[in-house]
């Protein structure tokens, strides 16, 4: 997609829906919007059927603000809660088979690089913990080892929320769920450690407690993925249904978990840091590396 | 009958925190009017999760957002009807909270 594809042909203008016309005239295309401007511009996502008060919805909403060029972005997803909102964005969304998200994204990114050598096209994989850490595990790791240049965002709700609450690889040990009544017996998978082993140049673990940070991290991840290599964001997006969190407490829950075991971590390679500094000299200084 | 979030514009217009617009999980639901300097809710999109209420009460400490029955609102803002067009928001009739019938 590009700006030309978005514009409405004058002859067809009266037939287009109000939502689409609003999006073209007052949408975020062509200009980077800030989190503080939210509510004053038409957002990329339309109405969607995700649950009330879902932290994943909030994270996806903030991700769409963080995308540096939404008009040159393609989303790849798979079965899971996230697709319900992702499919309602005015960004091309590819609904892959379960498990092949990063394989599809690898091919897509290489194809786009050949087809559009002048214009960088961003590919962003957004799927749940089940789609990336369990079923799509092999394609995720292989795409990292091959140094494929796209962003992988894991919406980690620590459960299969869509199918009735089965434990996933990312569920915390001992967590009791509807389909794991005796509690999970095994440890939570260390995806950050695996990403480090695969030498992913930009790895972040975060929650939704700081909207500005979510948008800036997504922006950095997408920019680094253009030039340097794969990037990975693991975001805690609680499932208020399966974990029985009252919706007004969703942000409080994210905060307490952030303090307990899901604190913000950012690993950035020297090469990626130098690249960020070269394109945004001022901003990159504020980036604090927590790399040991 | 269902609850929706309602922003007290007289309290909200005295601050400029905009936190509710950033923490609402739904898109274009809590909107911000730059002319009136206040947030307001598109009632047809609100799913009544109350995140904005807890943000306004505990994080911003303004206590400007309350959950209110949809039937107690007169002329609520509806995205389906009005569309996203800040220039025309001025022309819309003001949302009024109907007084509860005295018991």
Q: Is residue B98 part of a domain?
A: no
What's the average model confidence in pLDDT over A25-30?
87
Residue-wise pLDDT for A46-103, tens only, equals: 999 999 999 999 999 999 999 999 999 999 999 989 999 999 999 999 998 888 999 9
Chain A CB within 8 Å of residue B2 CB = no
Q: Is residue B101 part of a domain?
A: no
Residue-wise pLDDT for A122-131, tens only, equals: 999 999 999 9
Question: CATH no. for residue A81?
Answer: 3.40.50.970
What are the phi and psi torsion angles at A131 (to 5°)?
Answer: -65, -30
Going by C-alpha positions, the residue among A60, A247, A100, A79 that lies closest to residue A163 is: A79
Query: Which among B45, B50, B84 is the nearest to A22, CB-wise?
Result: B84
Q: Are A29 and A6 in contact, with CB atoms under 8 Å apart?
A: yes
What pLDDT does B16 receive?
87
Residue-number span of the structural domain to which B25 is assigned: 3-89
What pLDDT does B99 receive?
73
Q: What is the mean pLDDT of each run of 10 residues along chain B (103 residues)?
A: 92 91 94 92 94 94 93 90 88 82 49
**CA–CA dist B79, B75 (Å, integer):** 12
Query: Which among A40, A45, A55 is the nearest to B86, CB-wise?
Result: A40
Q: Cα–Cα–Cα angle for A64, B59, A43, nearest 5°?
A: 20
What pLDDT does A1 receive?
57
Residue-number span of the structural domain to which A134 is assigned: 46-286
On chain A, the residues whose CB falls within 8 A of the CB of B84 are 19, 22, 26, 42
Residue-wise pLDDT for A211-255, tens only, equals: 999 999 999 999 999 999 999 999 999 999 999 999 999 999 999
Q: Coil, helix or strand for B41?
A: strand
Question: CATH no. for residue B21?
Answer: 3.30.70.20
Q: Are A67 and A222 in contact, with CB atoms under 8 Å apart?
A: yes
Q: Name the band, by pLDDT with cuts 50, 70 and 90, for residue A290.
A: very low
On chain B, the residues whose CB falls within 8 A of the CB of A209 are none
Question: How many domains are there within chain A?
Answer: 1
Q: Is residue B97 part of a domain?
A: no
Q: Is residue A7 part of a domain?
A: no
On chain B, the residues whose CB falls within 8 A of the CB of A46 are 27
Going by C-alpha positions, the residue among A129, A139, A184 that lies closest to residue A160 is: A129
Q: Is residue B95 part of a domain?
A: no
Question: How many domains are there within chain B?
Answer: 1
Query: Which among B45, B48, B58 is the nearest to A47, CB-wise?
Result: B45
The bridge status of strand B30-33 relative to strand B3-7 is: unpaired
Q: Is residue A139 part of a domain?
A: yes
Q: Is residue B42 part of a domain?
A: yes
Map tokens 């990159």 to a residue.
Answer: A284
Distance spanning both ends of chain A, measured CA to CA: 40
**CA–CA dist A194, B80 (Å, integer):** 46
* Interface ipTM > 0.90: yes
> Which chain A residue shows the shortest CA-CA distance from B32?
A39
β-bridge partners, A73: A122
């Amino acid at each position: 997609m590009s700006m030309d594809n978005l514009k409405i042909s004058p002859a067809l203008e009266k037939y287009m829906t109000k939502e689409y016309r609003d999006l073209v005239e007052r949408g975020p295309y062509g200009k980077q919007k800030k989190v503080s401007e939210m509510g004053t511009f038409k957002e990329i996502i339309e109405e969607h059927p995700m649950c009330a008060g879902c932290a994943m919805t909030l994270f996806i909403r903030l991700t769409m603000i963080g995308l540096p060029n939404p008009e040159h972005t393609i989303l790849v997803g798979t079965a899971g809660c996230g697709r319900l909102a992702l499919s309602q964005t005015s960004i091309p969304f590819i609904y892959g088979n379960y498990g092949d998200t990063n394989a599809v994204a690898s091919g897509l990114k290489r194809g786009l690089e050949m087809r559009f050598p002048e214009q960088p096209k961003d590919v962003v994989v957004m799927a749940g913990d089940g789609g990336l850490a369990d079923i799509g595990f092999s394609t995720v790791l292989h795409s990292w080892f091959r140094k494929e240049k796209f962003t992988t965002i894991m919406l980690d709700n620590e459960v299969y929320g869509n199918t009735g609450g089965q434990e996933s690889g990312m569920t915390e040990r001992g967590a009791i769920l509807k389909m794991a009544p005796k509690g999970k017996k095994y440890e939570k998978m260390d995806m950050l450690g695996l990403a480090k082993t695969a030498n992913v140049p930009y790895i972040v673990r975060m929650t939704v407690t700081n909207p500005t940070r979510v948008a800036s991290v997504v922006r950095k991840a997408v920019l680094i993925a253009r030039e340097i290599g794969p990037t990975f964001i693991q975001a805690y997006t609680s499932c208020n249904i399966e974990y029985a969190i009252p919706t007004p407490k969703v942000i409080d829950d994210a905060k307490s978990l952030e303090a307990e075991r899901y604190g913000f971590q950012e690993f950035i390679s020297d090469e990626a840091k130098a690249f960020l500094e070269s394109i945004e000299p001022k901003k990159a200084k504020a980036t604090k590396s927590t790399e040991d | 009958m269902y609850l929706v979030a309602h922003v007290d514009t007289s309290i909200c217009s005295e601050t400029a925190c905009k936190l509710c617009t950033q923490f609402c999980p739904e898109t274009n639901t809590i909107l911000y009017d730059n002319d009136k300097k206040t947030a307001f809710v598109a009632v047809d999109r609100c799913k009544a999760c109350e995140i904005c209420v807890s943000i306004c009460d505990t994080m911003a400490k303004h206590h400007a957002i309350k959950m209110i029955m949809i039937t107690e609102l007169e002329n609520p803002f509806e995205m389906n009807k009005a569309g996203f067009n800040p220039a025309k928001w001025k022309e819309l009739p003001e949302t009024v909270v109907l007084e509860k019938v005295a018991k």
